[in-house]
Structure 1
Amino acid sequence: MTAHVLDVRDGAACTALVDSLVAEHGPPLWVVASAGIVEPGFFLEQDAAATLAQMEINFLGTTNLVRAAAPSMVAAGRGHIAMVASAAGLFGVAGYAGYCASKFAVRGFAEALRIELAAAGVSVTVSVPPDTDTPQLAYERPLRPAAIAPFAGSGRSLPPQVVAAHLVRTAERGGFLSAPTAQLAAIARMQGLASGIFARVQMRLLRRSKP
């Protein structure tokens, strides 16, 4: 196993690293985009830099990694792309406007990309976990606005191993949305019904357009 330090905001650096790994090991079978930060605070009370940082790392960082890795996967005709969004990518949470925006963006990106890559044999799965026991959660909790803390912290947090295992199981069976609790799964099903229908219609249109 090897590890590399990378700033996912740097698209050129993402491409250079992925290209070197592909040259050494071949196209990846799995790509997991999970880099993310959260800066709680009411939108009008926060500096604009907090919103920008969350969008750059959470959303654009995800697109930078996928843009670097996907071409070799498409050329190989196989692979899984997994992205980590959040329960806050399913519904808005006061005090988390920038974070919600970035995670909604990840989910929307994943929904569109799974349509575009389906015919190439590359599947896309997105995780929408609740609070997960990580150093990021430990940083976030004391910064939550007191007025919203009873809602934002109402559910139990999950071990990262549980979230990761659910994501892998979902991807391996060809699922799109990985919601690792019963409550989130119910919310996701309600929201996903329409998007699933729209996705199938678009996939058929793309298949018909192939020469």
Structure 2
Amino acid sequence: MYDSVIQDLIDELGRLPGIGPKSAQRIAFHLLDADPEDVRRFASVLTEVKATVHFCATCGNVTVDPECRICADPRRDATVLCVVEESKDVVAIERTREFRGRYHVLGGAISPIAGIGPDQLRIKELLGRLQDGVVTEVIIATDPNLEGEATATYLIRMLSTLGVAVSKLASGLPVGGDLEYADELTLGRAFEGRTSIPQAAAPG
């Protein structure tokens, strides 16, 4: 419909999550109308982000340093670990100011339809962080949807024999939603009312 380079821009924008064809077209024409210096600055930021941002060596959160600011903060409670799917969930939980422990980012959720199993997530790294006995509670804070619940069930089964307390965020979060979109009050109350998961008996 448009000249090739314009259509290429619209197509690339349309590949972004949550951006449909009409939104992609609107953004493309906004960029065409924008000041060239603004566009150069935008392109420079994109290039810098890809060149400098990586995953924290400890928790998997996004950072520009070897460790993210939360893992590097000695004031955080190292005995409590909150397991989330994505880095955006860390931001959502931090906004509540209810949690002072540390995080573990899985990098997604179990989804057989999408071909994502436990081996594609940072579950081995999570188990490795529990080996030294410092962590005494693991809070599972996966999204309240089908994939998140499947991931939570898998983690509960894995963790219930390791001698750590396992809890899950309380109900009140909208089923089928994402933590990212939960308001601070709802998410804060979910932390306060999290439910403990009974530990399974150690295999004889």
Higher RCO structure (Cα 8 Å, ≥6 apart) = 1
Question: TM-score normalised by the shorter chain: which range applies?
Answer: 0.3 to 0.5
Give 1 or 2: higher helix fraction. 1
Give 1 or 2: higher strand fraction. 2
**TM-score, normalising length: structure 1:** 0.38
**TM-score, normalising length: structure 2:** 0.39
Higher Cα Rg: structure 1 or 2? Answer: 2
